Amino acid sequence: MENNTLVLDTMAKNQICQLIEGTGLDVSTLIKQIIKENETYRNRIEDMSKDLKSYKERELEALLIGDALYDGIYVIDKTGIITAVNKAFIEMTGIVESEILGQGLEWLIERKLVTESGLLVLKEKEKASSVTVINNQKIVITASPIFNELGELTQVLTIMRDVTGLRKLQDKLENSEKLTKKYVDELKYLRKRESAQSGLIGRSLSMSQVRQLIYQVAQVEVTVLITGETGVGKEVVANDIYKNSLRKDSPYIKVNCAAIPENLLESELFGYEKGAFTGAQNKDKLGLFEIANSGTILLDEIGEMPFNLQSKILRVLQEKEITRIGGFKPIKIDVRVIAATNQNLEEQVSKGMFRQDLYYRLNVVPIQIPPLRSRLEDIPLLVNHFLHKYNEKYKVNKYINNSAMEVLQQYDWPGNVRELGNIIERLIIVINEPVIDSDHIVKIVDNEKLAAVCFDKNNLTLKEAVSILERQMIMNALQTYGSTHKAAPSLGVSQPTVLRKAKELGIMAK
Ligand SMILES: Nc1ncnc2c1ncn2[C@@H]1O[C@H](COP(=O)(O)OP(=O)(O)OP(=O)(O)O)[C@@H](O)[C@H]1O
């Protein structure tokens, strides 16, 4: 049917003639009636399909514009009129919903609240994205066309995502990645530089033997016990073993067992499970053995290890495993142990203060470093090494004459190489002449002259005089008693005080 004209074929015409025969109606009335009914029927179908379509659209809007979403969403119809917005959109733009619905999209574009993506989609019928800034927030806008079943564009759905937080996170991540890379590079550089040079200076026979031993033990995964008086260079030897070992690119953790309070030492070494004891943090803590895993650990001042922890160290050496405080699960550990002490461990064993089994386990390869007074031929080399170091540090250019060198070789060096280093540093700071001679040395190192020097106010401040005296007393006590724990009562102060002062005064390593 076109233009209200019904076109009938011959068969239809014959059927109609048969139907109206005997009804008394004329053909034209009947046809008009059929056309009318047909039109009513068609209108009803159109209404129904409109209902169906708008129901579908509403359902779509309801689905997509969930107010629970964090993304802002708005919908325009095919003429560009805004038909729906969600809560996040209102929060993002700050506009009242009633004000916005029914407006054309241009209304929002003029207020710079959206980009032209929506209009572009109406025109191109393809998805479009853009980025804008609304109220200082960076927003990514994505507009998508929605088509009906006939392929006609009916709406445009636009999603606005605030990426400011995301951007900030990304910036943070990029910065911390850059920082990590910088640290890794620095670490590599430092390791390379360190490994390039041996720290051990000395060409005496005894030091040549020590050096040879270092290279031999470095290559094999054996436990090493380094012994010798304070300041002889035990840590330098341990460093050289590490630098020349197969583990030179793995962690190297140094623990000064005397410097960590007894009640903290266990958790520092073995870590703990969260809530293991009052005061434990609310998360697991890795112990130094776990941190050193796959690498090397230096247990310096092992003679100060409390007796109850000695069995746990033995377990690391024998079973190669640890258990965190408060934990039940043993953790496998692959760590090379180097131990160092200035105590006579054999004597400690005989006194029942050090476990014999641990002593044997540690003492697989002993390296004994002789005191400086027994290798005086090393002194000139060491003096030149320290002169170079401190001249550079203090940006001066001083040197030592022969008579000064002779005096240095006559002194008995109770504090060994550390003391020698400290004295050269002091000479460089205190002596205001380019050449350091024997008088200068005597003034600083001679015990008998110490009191006189202390009272000579033109030369030293009270503070300097006190520290010289403190230094001498602490050094004597350490030499006599062997450990800070034992030296403390003889000096009438606590062990932590002896340790702190010994470090401040350069008697012990910091
Ligand atoms: N042979 C050496 N060559 C160069 N420097 C040395 C040598 N021996 C010791 N030193 C220096 O002397 C100082 C003390 O050395 P180190 O800390 O290794 O001694 P230590 O025996 O471990 O002392 P402590 O028992 O007090 O821990 C450090 O500054 C170290 O660099």
Residue found by looking up tokens 């004891």 in the block: 277
Per the DSSP assignment, residues forming a β-bridge with 131 are: 140
- Ligand 1 test: best mutation among 226, 236, 302, 383, most atoms within 8 Å of CB? 236
505 lines ligand 1 (CB under 6 A): no
Going from the Cα of 234 to the center of ligand 1, the distance in angstroms, rounded, reads 6
pLDDT at 487 over 70: yes
The closest-lying atom of ligand 1 relative to the alpha carbon of residue 341 is 25
Closest C-alpha to 209, from 353, 374, 354, 87: 374
235 lines ligand 1 (CB under 6 A): yes
Cα(34)–Cα(32) distance, rounded to whole angstroms? Answer: 5
Cα 280 to chain centroid distance, Å, stands at: 21
In the prediction, which pLDDT does 364 show? 92
Cα(84)–Cα(75) distance, rounded to whole angstroms? Answer: 5
pLDDT 10s digits, 386-432: 999 999 999 999 999 988 898 888 888 888 999 899 899 989 988 88
202 lines ligand 1 (CB under 6 A): yes
pLDDT at 10 over 80: no
pLDDT at 372 over 90: yes
Q: Is 123 helix (H, G, I), strand (E, B) or coil?
A: helix
pLDDT 10s digits, 235-264: 999 999 999 999 998 999 999 998 888 889
The least confident of 125-129, 230-234, 366-370, 449-453 is 449-453
In the prediction, which pLDDT does 61 show? 57
Closest protein CA for atom 8 of ligand 1: 233
In the prediction, which pLDDT does 56 show? 58
The closest-lying atom of ligand 1 relative to the alpha carbon of residue 502 is 26
pLDDT 10s digits, 434-446: 999 887 887 777 5
- Does the predicted interface ipTM exceed a cut of 0.95? yes
Q: Percent of the chain at pLDDT above 70?
A: 83
506 lines ligand 1 (CB under 6 A): no
Closest C-alpha to 482, from 358, 301, 237: 301
Question: Please, are residues 344 and 334 in contact by the beta-carbon 8 Å criterion?
Answer: no
Question: Please, are residues 399 and 434 in contact by the beta-carbon 8 Å criterion?
Answer: yes
The least confident of 25-39, 185-199, 384-398, 429-443 is 185-199
The closest-lying atom of ligand 1 relative to the alpha carbon of residue 202 is 1
The closest-lying atom of ligand 1 relative to the alpha carbon of residue 235 is 18
258 lines ligand 1 (CB under 6 A): no
339 lines ligand 1 (CB under 6 A): no
Strand-pair category, 128-134 with 296-300: unpaired
- Ligand 1 test: best mutation among 237, 417, 479, 499, most atoms within 8 Å of CB? 417
In the prediction, which pLDDT does 64 show? 56
In the prediction, which pLDDT does 457 show? 41
208 lines ligand 1 (CB under 6 A): no
pLDDT 10s digits, 88-139: 888 888 888 888 889 998 988 888 888 888 888 998 999 988 888 887 888 8
Higher-confidence position of 40 and 120:
120
Mean pLDDT for the stretch of residues 201-223: 93
* pTM given for the model: 0.58
233 lines ligand 1 (CB under 6 A): yes
Token pair listed for 175: 């910065």
482 lines ligand 1 (CB under 6 A): no
201 lines ligand 1 (CB under 6 A): yes
pLDDT at 3 over 70: no
236 lines ligand 1 (CB under 6 A): yes
In the prediction, which pLDDT does 330 show? 93
228 lines ligand 1 (CB under 6 A): yes
Q: How sure is the predictor about 367, in pLDDT bands with cuts at 50, 70 and 90?
A: very high
- Ligand 1 test: best mutation among 232, 302, 389, 474, most atoms within 8 Å of CB? 232
Higher-confidence position of 378 and 5:
378
417 lines ligand 1 (CB under 6 A): yes
Closest C-alpha to 481, from 352, 344, 349: 344
Going from the Cα of 233 to the center of ligand 1, the distance in angstroms, rounded, reads 3
Going from the Cα of 412 to the center of ligand 1, the distance in angstroms, rounded, reads 16
Higher-confidence position of 327 and 194:
327
371 lines ligand 1 (CB under 6 A): no
Question: Please, are residues 162 and 138 in contact by the beta-carbon 8 Å criterion?
Answer: yes
Cα(265)–Cα(482) distance, rounded to whole angstroms? Answer: 21
Closest protein CA for atom 25 of ligand 1: 230
Residue found by looking up tokens 């009318």 in the block: 36
pLDDT at 226 over 70: yes
Phi, psi of 200 (to 5 degrees): -85, 120
Going from the Cα of 401 to the center of ligand 1, the distance in angstroms, rounded, reads 25
Buried b (16+ CB within 10 A) or exposed e, 59-87: ebbeebbeeeeebbbbbbbeeeebbbbbb
Going from the Cα of 38 to the center of ligand 1, the distance in angstroms, rounded, reads 110
271 lines ligand 1 (CB under 6 A): no
Going from the Cα of 496 to the center of ligand 1, the distance in angstroms, rounded, reads 21
342 lines ligand 1 (CB under 6 A): yes
Cα(497)–Cα(493) distance, rounded to whole angstroms? Answer: 6
Whole-number mean pLDDT of the chain? 84
Closest C-alpha to 86, from 74, 98, 95, 76: 74
509 lines ligand 1 (CB under 6 A): yes
Closest protein CA for atom 31 of ligand 1: 236
The number of residues in the chain equals: 510
Q: How sure is the predictor about 204, in pLDDT bands with cuts at 50, 70 and 90?
A: very high
Q: Is 330 helix (H, G, I), strand (E, B) or coil?
A: coil
In the prediction, which pLDDT does 451 show? 44
- Ligand 1 test: best mutation among 194, 235, 384, 504, most atoms within 8 Å of CB? 235
Cα(273)–Cα(117) distance, rounded to whole angstroms? Answer: 55
The least confident of 32-41, 43-52, 430-439 is 43-52
pLDDT 10s digits, 275-327: 666 666 667 888 999 999 999 999 999 999 999 999 999 999 999 999 999 88
Going from the Cα of 416 to the center of ligand 1, the distance in angstroms, rounded, reads 8
